Amino acid sequence: MGGSTLLKKSLAFILVIMLFVTALAGCGQKAPAEPEKKVLRWNLGAEPKTIDPQLNSASDGGHVINNTFEGLMREKDGKLEPAMAESYEVSKDGLTYTFHLRDAKWSDGKPVKAQDFVYAWKRALDPNLVPEPSEYAFQLFYIKGAQEAYEGKGSLDDVAIVAKDDKTLEVTLKAPTPYFLNLTAFYTYMPVRKDMVEKDPEGWARNPETAVSNGPFKLVEYAMGDRIVLEKNENYWKADKVNIDRIEALMIVEESTALTAYESGEIDVIDKIPVQEIPRLQAEDPTFMIWPEIGTYYYIFNVTKSPTNDVRVRKALTLAIDRKAIVEKVTKGGQIPATGFTPPGLLDADGKEFHEVAGDYGIDPNGAKVEEAKKLLAEAGYPDGKGFPEIEIVYNTLESHKAVAEAIQEMWKQNLGIKVKLTNQEWAVFQDTRHNGNFTIARAGWLGDYADPMTMLDLWLSYSGNNDAQWNSPEYDKLIEDSKLLTGKERFDLLYKAQDLLMNEMIVMPIYYYTRPQMVSERVKNWEKTKMGHWFFGNASIE
């Protein structure tokens, strides 16, 4: 029995040793921990009305599109470089562009083809586009046959956009257009896939199952009113350069809430900052910066509604505000008082600042012209504001817009003796209100899409989808259209005349030229913003 007990003990001891060795071996074979995902949290602000490239006309949707899609060209460090186009040629007469596409894939692995560009561009020009015609169709009117197709005077089949084969796109313009390559980097010119769009023409861009894209990131989640989630597109042609795994684009409307989240480390990027906090941030936070932008903040007059259908009223309201006080005491972000519609940063044929040569149109950047404003209002039949109806300023929900509206409300009350009602609306609703002309005075802002004054001036063509003033001037249309057929000084002579007409009619009230207070966490490196103000994180990294 003693031997049997010894044997059992020996076997038990051997079994323990074997279990211990097995456990050690198991520890040695444990898979290494996956690297932590690099996540960028960025406050987009309000929910975009759309993130469909051909339907979008707002900067928030443009930010998302700029990171999920890629056009023929892309801006890098302020200069254009080939993107989907590996190379291109321009004919001697400047009319025909031939683009040779690189080998690239959509986020679902299918090849990007020249036919995808043809479909997308003609889609933007379709007057029967669902759910509504593109507000930016006019940006394609440089192409031969495009305007005629959009206006129903020609066929989409006649538009001079041709896929010679899967990798060759040929485009013929109506006239030489020096900034055409810049346009091909813009979101209306992004390719989209016909098979995906046709699955759900109204909702495809918000559904991760149909929102295939060809940029550095792809859509993986869309939570309405909350966030848009993007992830690295492994099929992007430069996927090896994309260092961020995931972007969470949040929809925090309240600027103070977003700043609190940024300062507590919950958000990495914000560019809507409470104005009252700017002095403190400038003094204390090294990540606070004021970024230059080419754009104008203004109020738009509905020229079809009383009392703003009277140019004397429009001029009186324009002259009666103190722009210097607004930028120094209200916005506090280094903005420049605006005296015209076209902002600094856009040059004419002689290399001169367009806005400086254009002049100030009688607007004093340093104060209100109260007596002149009162005289104009009296001429319109409202001496000292008597009998003037209560008017309404409509603006989209944002603390800074409210602060500007309240300042102008008080200036008009003090300087002109008139009553003003303020109404705020959520962003998507507000865009429809303005576009449909359901307002008397509305807040507006326009950031340039490319570095030429035309990016501001073609907004007011009678057929522009963004002409929310409901203004229709055949004379203005002709000046802009004729300028597109000219180059150099002759072209700019017409552009100056066009802005003169626009400002003499005062269909807009310029308030200030944009700058963009913004904050980017020190852990985010190599982020980019285009000259026109669009974020790009395709080369960014997180430390």
The 10s digit of each residue's pLDDT in 408-422 is 999 999 999 999 999
What values do phi and psi take at 249, rounded to 5?
-95, 105
Arch. (CATH architecture) of 292-517: Roll (3.10)
Report the C-alpha gap between 450 and 445 in whole angstroms. 16
Instruction: Sort 27 into a burial class: Cβ within 10 Å, 0-12 / 13-18 / 19+.
Output: exposed
**Tokens linked to 10:** 């020996």
The conformational region for residue 92 under phi > 0 = left, psi -120 to 50 = alpha, else beta, is alpha
CA–chain centroid gap for 537, Å, is 15
**Within 10 A of 400 (CB to CB), how many other CB atoms are there?**
20
As beta bridge partners, residue 229 has: 221, 248
- Which residue positions in the chain have pLDDT lower than 70? 1-34
Nearest to 54 by CA among 165, 191, 183, 178: 191
Residue 240: what pLDDT? 98
Residue 105: what pLDDT? 98
Residue 327: what pLDDT? 97
Residue 34: what pLDDT? 66
pTM: 0.86
User: What does DSSP assign to residue 293?
Assistant: E
Residue type, 536: F
Residue 22: what pLDDT? 43
Delimit the CATH 3.10.105.10 region(s) of the chain.
292-517
What values do phi and psi take at 399, rounded to 5?
-60, -40
Contact predicate 487/270, CB 8 Å: no
Residue 236: what pLDDT? 98
Residue 403: what pLDDT? 96
Report the C-alpha gap between 424 and 1 in whole angstroms. 95
- Choices 3.90.700.10, 3.30.70.100, 3.30.310.10, 3.40.190.10: CATH for 40-252+521-542: 3.40.190.10
Nearest to 361 by CA among 282, 298, 431: 298
